Amino acid sequence: MLLAAGAAVFLSWPNLAANAAEAKKGFLPVTDKKDGYSFLYPFGWQEVVVQGQDKVYKDVIEPLESVSVNTIPTSKQDIRELGPPDQVAEALIRKVLAAPTQKAKLIEAKENDVDGRTYYTFEFTAQAPNFTRHALGAIAIANGKFYTLTTGANERRWEKIKDRLHTVVDSFKIEARV
């Protein structure tokens, strides 16, 4: 009885039901209508506030397991205006995503077209003295903004969580705002 009532309430909220239908098992959806993007993050991660980031979710137990989204204004219209995927990813990693004291290494960068929009996705490691973070990223330009989504984990947990992190990156979508 209680389950049926809960289902009825859940289904009566169209946005909740629609978002749940779009979500993959084990993931929760995030939609930022103001900035025009959406993505999925693993169930169990919690939103935290990090100055300078638009959205951040992280695992409570494994703090290096996280996803963050950042947007900055740009006059560019397309990510390809910045250069090829490997050069753009390398510059972003070196100048923004890895601390100057970390040894960063780009593993792969590629261009993807999703619904007529170009995204660059990339994989890299950032080695600090006491840990190595293995990370994935997705970048795109739309709505007068440069969007960056980055997710990753401690290298020692990479094999266990990499499929979930790929799901996060692959779910990142930019919506055209009018």
In tens, the pLDDT along 116-156 reads: 899 999 999 999 999 999 999 999 999 999 999 999 999 99
Assigned domain for 9 exists: no
In tens, the pLDDT along 10-45 reads: 333 344 434 444 558 899 999 999 999 999 999 999
Q: What is the pTM of this model?
A: 0.84
Assigned domain for 4 exists: no
Assigned domain for 170 exists: yes
Total of domains in the chain? 1
| pLDDT at residue 177 greater than cutoff 80 | no
The residue range of the domain holding 81 is 26-174
Assigned domain for 56 exists: yes
- The CATH number linked to 79 is 3.40.1000.10
Assigned domain for 13 exists: no
Assigned domain for 6 exists: no
Query: What does the alpha-carbon distance between residue 144 and residue 162 come to, in Å, rounded to a whole number?
Result: 31
Assigned domain for 147 exists: yes
Assigned domain for 81 exists: yes
What single string gives the DSSP state of each residue in the chain?
Answer: -HHHHHHHHHHHSHHHHHHHHHSPTTEEEEEETTTTEEEEEETT-EE---TT-SEEEE-SS-TT-EEEEEEEE-S-SSGGGG--HHHHHHHHIIIIIS-TTSEEEEEEEEEEEETTEEEEEEEEEEE-SS-EEEEEEEEEEETTEEEEEEEEEEGGGHHHHHHHHHHHHHH-EEPPP-
Query: What does the alpha-carbon distance between residue 84 and residue 87 come to, in Å, rounded to a whole number?
Result: 6
Query: What does the alpha-carbon distance between residue 100 and residue 7 come to, in Å, rounded to a whole number?
Result: 50
